[in-house]
Structure 1
Amino acid sequence: MAHTDFIPYGRQSISEDDIAAVVKSLRSDFLTQGPCVTEFEQALCAKVGARYGVAANSATSALHLACLALGVGEGDSVWTSPNTFIASANCARYCGADVDFVDIDPRTYNMCAEKLADKLARAKVEGKLPKVIIPVHFAGQSCDMKAIHILSKEYGFRIIEDASHAIGSKYQNKYVGNGEFSDICVFSFHPVKIITSAEGGMAVTNDEQLAKHMRTHGAQGTTKSPEELTQIPGDWYYEQHTLGFNYRMTELQAALGLSQLSRLDDFIARRHKQFQNYQRLLKDLPVILPYQDKDNYSSLHLFPILLPIGNETARKGVFDSLRQAGVGTQVHYIPVHIQPYYQQLGFAGGDFPIAEDYYARTLSLPLFADLTYAQQERVALILKHALIANRVMSA
């Protein structure tokens, strides 16, 4: 039975200002296709240092648009991390492309740049180089983007950063999304992310043509721009130039996202304080705590811990013990390549052993902006009891 004082692993933080922004949007002339979406796009671009933003109804939609803009199609190959949500791979499959994976770094849990280099060298010999690489900034910590970018110049692939976890994160003292080491970067605003627009996502880029392509394809493939029309019989006129999708973000979502963006720095500062609290509270427990690379300032979307090697069978017991005591632990993620759909495409357990080992021992502890220190103390105490109960540690 669920605990009456349940602590979720992630939760949105909604202020009166957020509510007022949405109400204002509701009372305006536009519920969709109005000014809030453009304001949100411009504000986020100004924050991260990108030139163009294209809002969408989800980060999955934004990833799909990014793949389409880079010309991904049948016969192409897209590589991503196995340690991610399925959308990071599915976006390429939507385009008819093949998908492959690169195993993760055992410390950061991100795509390993060294393993990527080895796999690219083999793929070049075999004539099977990827068209696009999608590094995923797991838990908010950026991948080694400089190394991946250098490889892109050597092997000729394009880069989409899946920064669904990483709005507000920094890599080498610059905001993720500035475009120095990628073609397109995608953010998520799902309620458990750093900021939320209820559902929603955004692709940012410094390439005007890529932005134009994504915007057109996200609006049913249509345009009303006078310079793009073949004729202009009247102000009502629009043209469909390609087969697109209805991936638009609503005004309500954008109003909420824009209001939340003003508190982004505060949200991340709170998470860093909570991260430090956990480091102290859990230091005597036999668990591996998240590693933070010196080149990164993470948004800290997640707080994943690892049980010691040899305790894989205890993970379910620890998970169940935490849940039963009111701690909303979760597992991030089931490696994409062992999902039944991807096994039907030829992948199997054992293909990416580091990601699989990580999956077998990981649990995410609650981490969200409004998490209190008292709640963190409770999480730590319940985790200790769970570890003892499941013989991961002695009493």
Structure 2
Amino acid sequence: MNFIPYGRQNITEEDIDAVVNVLKSDYLTQGPKVPEFENAIKEHCNVEYVLAMNSATSALHVACLALDVGKGDIVWTTPITFVASANCALYCGATVDFVDIDPRTYNLSIQSLEHKLKAAKEQGKLPKVVIPVHLCGQPCDMERIYQLSKNYGFSVIEDASHAIGGKYKNQPIGNCQYSDITIFSFHPVKIITTAEGGVATTKSEELAQKMELLRSHGITRDSDLMTHEPDGPWYYQQVDLGYNYRMTEMQAALGVSQIKRLSSITKSRHEIANRYNEKLARLAVIVPFQIQESYSGLHLYVIRLKLDKIKPTHLEVFKALRAANIGVNLHYIPVHLQPYYREHFGFKLGDFPQAEQYYREAISLPLYPDLSQEQQDYVVETLKDILAYD
């Protein structure tokens, strides 16, 4: 069997033509495709404002800045995420803390969040922003998080990097009903791709205006935002310290083409996941738990090994799958255990036990629309043989 990655992009001739057409056009940056892509996201999410950027990391950074995160502030997120979900706050000079995960959904635990908020209020150390992460594409309990945000006075950034195409309470993730800002990622292994890229969505005109400035050097050509009347039609002003976080026309063109297939791509992922659920039912693994009131984007299919029921260790299972040309991965190493976070913030093993237990058991199996049934059967049978090893 040829190598089977855990995820891969799905690129069609239509996608290729869309990018080539941009290369033949007059605009490689700052043309019509970026707003076209933003409008497509806006329509899909039923949200007022969309800002496309060169990565979800950039979008997270700009989102924190738009919410005035800075020195002396505290931002909370989950330890089971990619480091960007936490790093974005550090870029702003804030400090970071974590909330342990729910052992079933692997998302930020509402019970842990509520407990930690009560303690933080007594200590005068409440977070300015909480960043829940929709791990694997399954949304967090956003309604409850929103209620807590009103009770304790923090803002909410949804890190929905895994979740475009998903729904929460039958509404599209990204509509910001229960958050200030939502972030999507379009990295190649995500549900749809712009090669690299991300967007921020929001219902707030003020936040949208701030993020628009910050993604482009803090520069504006809007006379209403200037300190005086323009000197001429060439004139612009830098009114804030921003960054070069803009999305290119080529990225946006690929996104415009890809989003047309979003529903079918998500449907394919669910079909593959359902087939995994059936075939893995009798093995010593825990298959992903899906909340009934949500529809996951299903970026990842994560199993947890029942280590007390098998002889091989977590590492041995992982290595054996890789040796069989199955490109499994582990999403994620708990952020608080990364050397940078240990050294600078004093986090240690034992701080977030559910996240650490998840890390000792989790493996991401291959999941992408082009995964064939033959390949999937090979993954399942190989895993079955490894787990049965005595």
Give the TM-score taking structure 2 as reference length: 0.98
Q: How does 1:174-323 map to 2 (within 5 A)?
A: 174-229=171-226, 230-310=228-308, 314-323=313-322
Q: CA deviation at 1:49?
A: 1.0
SS in 1 for 2:76: strand
Partner of 2:358: 358
CA distance in 2, matches of 1:262, 1:283: 34
Q: Output the amino acid matched with 2:141.
A: D
Partner of 2:117: 120
CA distance in 1, matches of 2:222, 2:388: 65
CA distance in 1, matches of 2:123, 2:168: 33
Q: CA deviation at 1:38?
A: 0.6
**Preserved CA contact (<8 Å) 2:305 2:362:** yes
**Preserved CA contact (<8 Å) 1:165 1:188:** yes
**Preserved CA contact (<8 Å) 1:217 1:245:** yes
Sequence identity of aligned pairs in percent?
56
CA distance in 1, matches of 2:365, 2:129: 33
2:346 is equivalent to residue 343 of structure 1: no
Partner of 1:146: 143
Q: CA deviation at 1:313?
A: 7.2
**Preserved CA contact (<8 Å) 2:312 2:387:** no
Partner of 2:326: 327
**Preserved CA contact (<8 Å) 1:83 1:334:** yes
CA distance in 2, matches of 1:115, 1:294: 22
CA distance in 2, matches of 1:12, 1:45: 23
Q: CA deviation at 1:284?
A: 1.5
2:80 is equivalent to residue 83 of structure 1: yes
C-alpha deviations, 1:191-243, integer Å up to 9, x for none? 00000000000000000110110110110110111222323122221110111
**Preserved CA contact (<8 Å) 2:45 2:172:** yes
**Preserved CA contact (<8 Å) 1:183 1:206:** yes
**Preserved CA contact (<8 Å) 2:307 2:313:** no
**Preserved CA contact (<8 Å) 2:311 2:387:** no
Q: CA deviation at 1:312?
A: 10
| Cα distance change on mapping 1:205 and 1:108 into 2, 3 Å | same
CA distance in 2, matches of 1:108, 1:312: 26
CA distance in 1, matches of 2:241, 2:346: 30
C-alpha deviations, 1:21-55, integer Å up to 9, x for none? 10111111100011100111111011011100011
Q: CA deviation at 1:325?
A: 0.6
| Cα distance change on mapping 1:312 and 1:85 into 2, 3 Å | farther
CA distance in 1, matches of 2:113, 2:170: 24
SS in 2 for 1:293: coil
Partner of 1:61: 58
Partner of 2:127: 130
SS in 1 for 2:51: strand
**Preserved CA contact (<8 Å) 1:312 1:360:** no
Q: Output the amino acid matched with 1:342.
A: Y
The list of structure 1 runs, each at least 4 consecutive aligned residues, that deviate by more than 6 angstroms after superposition, is: none
Q: CA deviation at 1:388?
A: 2.6
CA distance in 2, matches of 1:39, 1:334: 36
What 5-or-longer segments of structure 2 have no aligned partner? none
Q: CA deviation at 1:336?
A: 0.3
**Preserved CA contact (<8 Å) 1:312 1:361:** no
2:167 is equivalent to residue 167 of structure 1: no
CA distance in 2, matches of 1:280, 1:163: 27
Moved more, 39-48 or 225-234: 225-234
2:355 is equivalent to residue 368 of structure 1: no
Q: Output the amino acid matched with 1:52.
A: Y
| Cα distance change on mapping 1:312 and 1:103 into 2, 3 Å | farther
The number of equivalent residue pairs is 387
CA distance in 2, matches of 1:78, 1:279: 36
CA distance in 1, matches of 2:386, 2:3: 16
Q: CA deviation at 1:309?
A: 4.1
Q: Output the amino acid matched with 2:294.
A: N
2:11 is equivalent to residue 14 of structure 1: yes
SS in 1 for 2:158: strand
Q: Output the amino acid matched with 1:66.
A: A
Moved more, 268-277 or 279-288: 279-288
Moved more, 306-315 or 286-295: 306-315
SS in 2 for 1:79: strand
**Preserved CA contact (<8 Å) 2:128 2:154:** yes
